[in-house]
Structure 1
Amino acid sequence: MDFFIKLADGFMGMFQEGAEVLMGFITGIIPLLIVLITIVNAFIKIVGEDRIFSFMKAISKITIFRYTLIPFFSVFFLTNPMCYTFGKFLPEKQKPAFYDSAVSFVHPITGLFPHANSAELFIFLGIAQGFAKVGSQSRLALMYLIVGLIVCLVRGVVTEKITDFQMKRNAVAKRNVA
C-alpha cells in the first residue's frame, strides 16, 4: 500500500512542480518575451517591411553578409521558425547554405535575445532548473545521455526505414519509366 501512496504522491508532485515552473514563466520570461516581440514588430512596422526586404536582398550579394548578417537579421526579426523564409532573397543554389547558417544561429542568439527562439529558452530554463534540483551535474548528464541515446535509436531506426522505403519506391518508379 505504501508503494501506491508514494506513486500517487510522486504523480501529483510532478504536476505541482510543473505549476511552479509555469508560474515562474508567467511572472518572469513571458512578459519579457511579449515586450521583445512587440518592440521588434513595431520596429518592422516603423521602418517598413519593403525597406527591410530590400536591404536584405542588397546585402545577400556579399558572401560574408549572406551567411552572417542575413541569418542574424532573419532570426532576430522573424524568430524561429519564420526566419528561414529570408532564403527567398537568394538563388536556389545558395538556399541550403543559408538554411544551414540560420538553423545554426537559432541557438546562439537565444542567450542575448530570448524572443528569437523562445521555445528553446523554455527548454534551456527547464534544464537549468534540473541542474539546480538534482545537485549533481554528472547525474543529470548521465540521464541526458541515456535519453539522448534512446531518442537517437528511435530516430535512426525510423529514418532508416523511411529511407529504405523511398529508395525502393524510386527504384521501382525508374524501372517502370524505362
Structure 2
Amino acid sequence: MDFFINLADGFIGMFQEGAEVFMGFITGIIPLLIVLITVVNAFIKIVGEERIFGFMRAIAKFTIFRYTLIPLFSVFFLTNPMCYTFGKFLPEKQKPAFYDSAVSFVHPITGLFPHANAAELFIFLGIAQGFAQVGNQSELALWYLVVGLIVCLVRGIVTEKITEFQMKRQEAAKRGAAA
C-alpha cells in the first residue's frame, strides 16, 4: 500500500513543482519579456522601419557584417521566427547562407536578450543554473553571444561558398543540356 501512496504523492508532486515553476515565470521572466518586446518595438517605430531596412541593405554588402550583424539585428529586433525575413536585403545566392547563419544565432542571443527567442530561454536557464554554481551567468551569456557570432560567420561563409558552387554546377548542367 505504501507503494501506491508514494506513487500518488510523486504524481501530484510533479504537478506542484510545475505550478511553482509556472508562478516563477509569471512573476519573473514573463514581465521581463513583455517589457523587452515593448522597448524593441518602440525603438523600431521611433527610428523608423525604412531607416532600419536601409541600414541593413548597406551593411549586407560586407561578408563579415552579413553573417554577424545582420543575424544579430534580425534576431534582436524581429525575434524568432520573423528574423529570417531580413534575408530580403540579400541577393538570392546569399539567402541560404543568411538563413543558416540566423538559425544558428537564435539560441546564443537568448542569454543576454531573452525576448529574442523566449522558447529557447528555458534551455539557457537550465544550463545557466548549473553554471551559476561555478561561475557567473552573465559571463556565460556573453560567451554564448560571442561564440554564437563566430559560428554564424563561419556557417554563413561556408554555406555561401557551397551555394555558389551548386549554382555554378546547375548553370553548367543547363548549358550542357542545351548544347
Q: TM-score, length-normalised on structure 1?
A: 0.69
Structure 1 partner of 2:119 = 119
Please state how far the C-alpha of 1:126 moved relative to its aligned partner.
4.4
Please state how far the C-alpha of 1:111 moved relative to its aligned partner.
1.2
AA aligned opposite 2:95: K
Q: Deviations over 1:56-91 (max 9, x none)?
A: 112111111111110010010001111111111111
Structure 2 partner of 1:90 = 90
Aligned residues: 132
Structure 1 partner of 2:71 = 71
- Tell me, yes or no, if the aligned pair for 2:110 and 2:124 is still in contact at 8 Å: no
1:58 is aligned to 2:58: yes
Unaligned runs of 5+ in 2: 134-179
Unaligned runs of 5+ in 1: 136-178
Q: Deviations over 1:21-50 (max 9, x none)?
A: 011111111111111110000000111112
Which whole-Å CA distance do the structure 1 matches of 2:56 and 2:82 have between them? 15
Which aligned runs of 4 or more in structure 1 are off by greater than 3 angstroms?
A: 126-129
Please state how far the C-alpha of 1:113 moved relative to its aligned partner.
0.9
Given the superposition, is the C-alpha separation of residues 12 and 127 from structure 1 closer, same or farther in structure 2, using an over 3 Å criterion?
farther
Structure 1 partner of 2:13 = 13
Structure 2 partner of 1:39 = 39
Identity among equivalent positions (%) equals 89
AA aligned opposite 1:27: T
AA aligned opposite 1:66: R
Please state how far the C-alpha of 1:54 moved relative to its aligned partner.
1.5
Aligned partner of residue 80 in structure 1, secondary structure = coil
Which whole-Å CA distance do the structure 1 matches of 2:102 and 2:79 have between them? 10
Which whole-Å CA distance do the structure 2 matches of 1:19 and 1:57 have between them? 46
Which whole-Å CA distance do the structure 2 matches of 1:128 and 1:88 have between them? 35
Structure 1 partner of 2:100 = 100
Which whole-Å CA distance do the structure 1 matches of 2:43 and 2:90 have between them? 24
1:24 is aligned to 2:31: no
Which whole-Å CA distance do the structure 1 matches of 2:80 and 2:125 have between them? 18
Which whole-Å CA distance do the structure 1 matches of 2:57 and 2:8 have between them? 58
Aligned partner of residue 5 in structure 2, secondary structure = helix
AA aligned opposite 1:18: G
Which whole-Å CA distance do the structure 1 matches of 2:2 and 2:127 have between them? 31
Please state how far the C-alpha of 1:11 moved relative to its aligned partner.
0.9
Q: Deviations over 1:106-132 (max 9, x none)?
A: 121111111111111123324556x59
Which whole-Å CA distance do the structure 2 matches of 1:105 and 1:71 have between them? 7
AA aligned opposite 1:87: G
Which whole-Å CA distance do the structure 2 matches of 1:3 and 1:128 have between them? 35
What RMSD over aligned residues (CA atoms) do the two structures have, in Å? 1.9
Which whole-Å CA distance do the structure 1 matches of 2:112 and 2:90 have between them? 27
